Copies of this chain bind each other. A is one copy, B any other.
Amino acid sequence: MYQSKLFSKTRKEAPKDEVSKNAQLLIKGGFINKEMAGVYDYLPLGLIVLNKIKNIVREEMNTLGGEEITMTSLQRKELWEKTDRWDDKKVDIWFKSTLKSGAEVGLGWSHEEPITDMMKNFITSYRSLPIFVYQFQSKLRNELRAKSGIMRGREFLMKDMYSYSVDEKSHQEFYDRAIQSYLKIFDRVGLGRDTILTFASGGSFTKFSHEFQTILDTGEDVIYIDRDKNIAINKEILSDELIKQLGLNKNNLEEVKSVEVGNIFSFGDVKSKQLDLYYKDEQGKPKAVILGSYGIGITRLMGVIVEKFSDEVGIVWPTSISPFAVHLLNIGSSDEAKKITDKIYADLQKNNIEVLCDDRELRPGEKFADSDLIGIPLRVIISDKTITSGNYEIKERRKGKVSLLNISDLLDFIKKYK
């Protein structure tokens, strides 16, 4: 793609009311635009990153046996009343509105209720189970404060998966597979090393839920990590009894700030009973379906990645979700420099390597600054000086390391870069 064709240019300043590092960098880099606190538009570069994250998550959900669907934002009041989650005193983040008829409707902040209700049309006997469904959906949550950029949005993209199983054993089997799948996702987007499976508070049915917490100074959570066992406990439920129960040693626990990037939860048969979702077992007896819920905040994940992988001059995208693999900068003024740039651009495209070519008429310094800010992992620089040697400069955004390579070595280097 040619940068001159991109309407979304970099900006010198983020809006003054934007205090989060992730949104400041993403706005300045032209990835997102701020509508209001916690509400952001995704511009072409931002949408590419979002789609790359979605595709990684989608692949892993499909591997788990998930079937993709799309539920609606509009929610029926009577459904959420059945599970006692309609009242603003019980759930304080509802956006609600009113139909022309005067009937109240909600805007979806989660979807256990409608999906479980829908399943009554499809689950009859034990033969219908298990069922794993997931969706990517824009959720609305009426947050009192929204100061963390895209890490805590009033409107945000979430992947939510729901599992319907015949019994606790079959549920647990899937739940454990889902944990592995989630760890793989965080690994693939570049957060593997710093994302820890964390015990958190459960609900009416289970003692615990599991969170996936990424270590982050600007995170809103506090967790206690056992580095050897690679598990953690959320501060909310930390107790001597629990530490003992999990076979951990208090002295080995390290307190860190973190942000929740995923969360999985067993509802047992509570919600199925509330919503009347039963199946017939092999003896023809009605039994309540066992429900699990598995969430990943897709836009939040993008925000966390920016918070973690950035420096004083801009973003440093992990290769797997970078909008492009290569940023090709022509800073020369000669026809020859343009010719070489065009050739390398064509070579990269031929090799299916995604490339953003800065073909704009700007000073080299401006191009370098924009490139630092946008944060593509590899930068290839064509200058009038280097073309005579036949070796071209390639700079790694992460390490700052510069190499001079001929075209063939350049392509090899790019193909192998991770």
**A residues 142-196 with Cβ under 8 Å of B?**
142-144, 154-155
Q: Are A44 and B69 in contact (CB under 8 A)?
A: yes
Give the CA-CA distance A95 to B9 in the complex, in Å.
33
Residue A67 contacts which of B44, B68, B154 (CB distance < 8 angstroms)? Answer: B44
Q: Are B133 and A7 in contact (CB under 8 A)?
A: yes
Interface string of A118-138 (1 = CB under 8 A from B): 110110000010010100001
- Write out the residue numbers on chain B whose beta carbons fall within 8 Å of the beta carbon of A5: 67
Copies in the complex: 2
- Write out the residue numbers on chain B whose beta carbons fall within 8 Å of the beta carbon of A68: 44, 47
Residue A140 contacts which of B9, B69, B73, B118 (CB distance < 8 angstroms)? Answer: B73
Per the CB 8 Å criterion, the residue count for chain A at the interface is 50
- Write out the residue numbers on chain B whose beta carbons fall within 8 Å of the beta carbon of A154: 74, 99
Interface string of A96-120 (1 = CB under 8 A from B): 1111100001010000001000110
A35 and B76 in contact (CB under 8 A), knowing A67-B6, A118-B41?
yes
Determine how close the nearest CB of chain B comes to the CB of A63; give it in whole angstroms: 14
Give the CA-CA distance A140 to B138 in the complex, in Å.
13
Q: Are B7 and A67 in contact (CB under 8 A)?
A: yes
Give the CA-CA distance A98 to B133 in the complex, in Å.
32
Determine how close the nearest CB of chain B comes to the CB of A390; give it in whole angstroms: 34
Q: Are A100 and B41 in contact (CB under 8 A)?
A: no
Give the CA-CA distance A33 to B71 in the complex, in Å.
9
- Write out the residue numbers on chain B whose beta carbons fall within 8 Å of the beta carbon of A144: 100
20 contacts between A and B (CB under 8 A): A6-B67, A7-B122, A7-B131, A8-B67, A8-B122, A33-B118, A33-B121, A35-B114, A41-B69, A42-B69, A73-B138, A74-B140, A95-B97, A95-B105, A97-B97, A99-B142, A99-B154, A100-B142, A100-B143, A138-B138
